């Protein structure tokens, strides 16, 4: 099959995406597919360049600076993606972008317009999953428990003050951009004095910021592939929360698959993950993040429609825990995309 892997892009998670995409391209090529790697920020990456980038280790600990991303966004090829031969001639586009336009439904909608198949969720589901506020509203409607929260928007004249946060949520709270990933712009706030600066920091990344009740306890994640939930993973970050450094620095977090849960707890969290997946109308695959309190209650944090596919990432580890290697995982994601009715110009036919 002719497969074009989209990787890199102009989001804060650019480097993570390059690491995911290079690995996916190599795995699909090893399976005999005709693979092209395309970075919407720069263009086609040839195989020699791919190997050099993999060898150099494209991932750094800090996300790229906002000014570097702004520059890339201005010169990006993204608006003309639909006209590029690498996209138009592909049997399927494998989306290895993370964050920003690649994950929020924009690129998905663009591919719908040109009638090219792509892996994972469609544009509406992608946009919903990217928006933590709307996701949580839909989780609650589907009886998937999620922590209480308040939303602050840039436009609103009044921001909740610390008395309001204390009354509605209690300390500590987590302040985070509503539409961002990889723990960028997120902070744990323990006292009213630190609230305003945390909101200002999160506003750098989004015009809407969530203030969410802090859920103490364990960090769990459930990957969904097709219509089944994979083995549950538990994360033991070195820091209190699973922050950017813990996510992407070898040795800063330990993962355990399957997580040490009772049979009932495993069944329950997998059921909640599938319910969350359906609530947002996700498709193909996704990873759903949870916290679990000491008393055994689960709280859904969010759904990731384009979860990391780096060697350290959780979905590949979950697949491995049930005997599915990385190549087989990529192949399955492609098959799930191919199972859709043929795309017509003007939109994907979601059923
Ligand atoms: N309400 C919360 N209570 C406790 N920890 C949280 C909460 N929200 C976020 N975190 C921590 O921050 C990490 C990232 O938050 P998450 O909501 O998943 O956003 P992101 O899209 O950045 O991954 C989580 O994996 C968790 O460790
Ligand atoms: Mg997360």
Going along the chain from its start, the domains and CATH numbers come out as: 2-120 (3.40.50.20), 129-145+217-334 (3.30.470.20), 149-213 (3.30.1490.20)
Q: Which residue is listed with tokens 């795995």?
A: 27
When pLDDT is averaged across residues 81-96 and rounded to a whole number, the result is 92
- Is there a catalytic annotation at residue 208? no
- Quickly state the pLDDT bin for 62 (edges 50, 70, 90): low
Which residues lie at CB < 5 A from ion ligand 2? 289
- Of 26, 218, 287, 291, which residue is the catalytic one? 287
When pLDDT is averaged across residues 54-78 and rounded to a whole number, the result is 71
Locate all alpha helices (DSSP H) within the chain, ordered by sequence.
14-30, 47-56, 66-75, 85-88, 100-103, 106-114, 123-130, 132-141, 162-168, 195-203, 244-248, 263-279, 314-321, 326-338
- Of 118, 205, 244, 248, which residue is the catalytic one? 248
In the predicted model, is pLDDT for residue 16 greater than 90?
no
186 Cα to the center of ligand 1, angstroms:
8
- Is there a catalytic annotation at residue 289? yes
- Quickly state the pLDDT bin for 153 (edges 50, 70, 90): very high
66 vs 338 pLDDT, higher one: 338
Question: Mean pLDDT, the chain, as a whole number?
Answer: 91
Atom index in ligand 1 nearest the CA of residue 147 equals: 1
**pLDDT, position 63:** 65
Alpha-carbon dihedral of residues 238, 240, 245, 247, nearest 10 degrees? Answer: 80
Looking at ligand 1, which residue's alpha carbon is closest to its atom 15? 183
Distance CA 232, CA 272 (A): 12
- Is there a catalytic annotation at residue 185? no
- Is there a catalytic annotation at residue 245? no
Pick from 66-80, 152-166, 293-307: least confident? 66-80
**pLDDT, position 140:** 98
Distance CA 297, CA 213 (A): 14
Atom index in ligand 1 nearest the CA of residue 213 equals: 1
- Quickly state the pLDDT bin for 111 (edges 50, 70, 90): very high
- Is there a catalytic annotation at residue 308? yes
- Of 13, 212, 219, 283, which residue is the catalytic one? 13
pLDDT tens digits for 266-282? 999 999 999 999 999 99
pLDDT tens digits for 38-58? 999 889 999 999 988 888 776
Distance CA 95, CA 292 (A): 30
289 Cα to the center of ligand 2, angstroms:
6
- Is there a catalytic annotation at residue 13? yes
* Token pair for 237: 């970050």
162 vs 143 pLDDT, higher one: 143
When pLDDT is averaged across residues 301-325 and rounded to a whole number, the result is 93
Using omega within 30 degrees of 0 as the cis cutoff, is the peptide bond preceding 258 cis?
Answer: yes
Minimum-distance ligand to the CA of 182?
A: 1
26 Cα to the center of ligand 2, angstroms:
26
Describe the chain by its helix, strand, coil percentages, rounded to 5: 40, 20, 40
Q: Which residue is listed with tokens 């059923």?
A: 351
Looking at ligand 1, which residue's alpha carbon is closest to its atom 2? 214
Looking at ligand 1, which residue's alpha carbon is closest to its atom 21? 181
Residues with CB under 6 A from ligand 1: 147, 174, 176, 181-183, 186, 212-215, 219, 241-242, 289, 291, 301-302
146 vs 102 pLDDT, higher one: 146
pLDDT tens digits for 212-266? 999 999 999 999 999 999 999 999 999 988 888 888 788 889 999 999 999 999 9
In the predicted model, is pLDDT for residue 61 greater than 80?
no
Q: Residue 224: how many CA atoms within 13 Å on its side-chain side?
A: 29
- Is there a catalytic annotation at residue 182? yes
Atom index in ligand 1 nearest the CA of residue 241 equals: 27
Mutate to test the pocket of ligand 1, among 149, 180, 181, 186 (most ligand atoms within 8 A of CB): 186
- Is there a catalytic annotation at residue 240? no
């Amino acid at each position: 099959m002719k497969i074009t892997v989209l990787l890199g892009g102009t989001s804060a998670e650019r480097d993570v995406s390059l690491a995911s995409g290079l690995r996916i391209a190599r795995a699909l090529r090893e399976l005999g597919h005709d693979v092209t790697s395309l970075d919407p920020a720069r263009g086609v990456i040839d195989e020699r360049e791919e190997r050099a980038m993999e060898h150099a280790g494209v991932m750094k600990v800090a996300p790229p600076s906002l000014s570097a991303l702004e520059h890339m966004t201005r010169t990006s090829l993204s608006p003309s993606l639909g006209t590029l031969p690498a996209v138009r001639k592909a049997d399927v586009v494998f989306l290895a972008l993370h964050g920003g336009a690649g994950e929020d439904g924009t690129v998905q909608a663009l591919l719908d317009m040109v009638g090219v198949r792509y892996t994972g969720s469609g544009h509406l589901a992608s946009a919903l999953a990217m928006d933590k506020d709307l996701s949580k509203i839909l989780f609650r409607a589907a009886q998937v428990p999620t922590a209480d929260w308040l939303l602050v928007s840039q436009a609103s004249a009044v921001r909740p003050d610390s008395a309001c946060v204390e009354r509605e949520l209690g300390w500590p709270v987590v302040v985070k951009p509503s539409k961002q990933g990889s723990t960028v712009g997120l902070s744990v706030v323990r006292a009213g004095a630190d609230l305003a600066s945390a909101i200002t920091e999160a506003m750098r990344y989004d015009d809407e910021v969530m203030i969410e009740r802090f859920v103490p306890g364990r960090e769990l994640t459930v990957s969904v592939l097709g219509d089944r939930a994979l083995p549950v993973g538990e994360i033991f970050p070195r820091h209190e929360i699973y922050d950017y450094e813990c996510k992407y620095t070898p040795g800063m977090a330990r993962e355990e698959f399957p997580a040490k849960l009772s049979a009932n707890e495993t069944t329950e969290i997998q059921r909640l993950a599938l319910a969350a997946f359906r609530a947002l109308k996700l498709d193909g695959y996704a990873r759903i993040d949870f916290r679990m309190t000491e008393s055994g209650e689960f709280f859904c944090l969010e759904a990731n429609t384009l979860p990391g596919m780096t060697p350290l990432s959780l979905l590949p580890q979950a697949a491995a825990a049930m005997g599915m290697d990385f190549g087989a995982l990529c192949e399955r994601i492609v098959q799930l995309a191919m199972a859709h009715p043929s795309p017509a110009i003007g939109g994907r036919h979601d059923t």
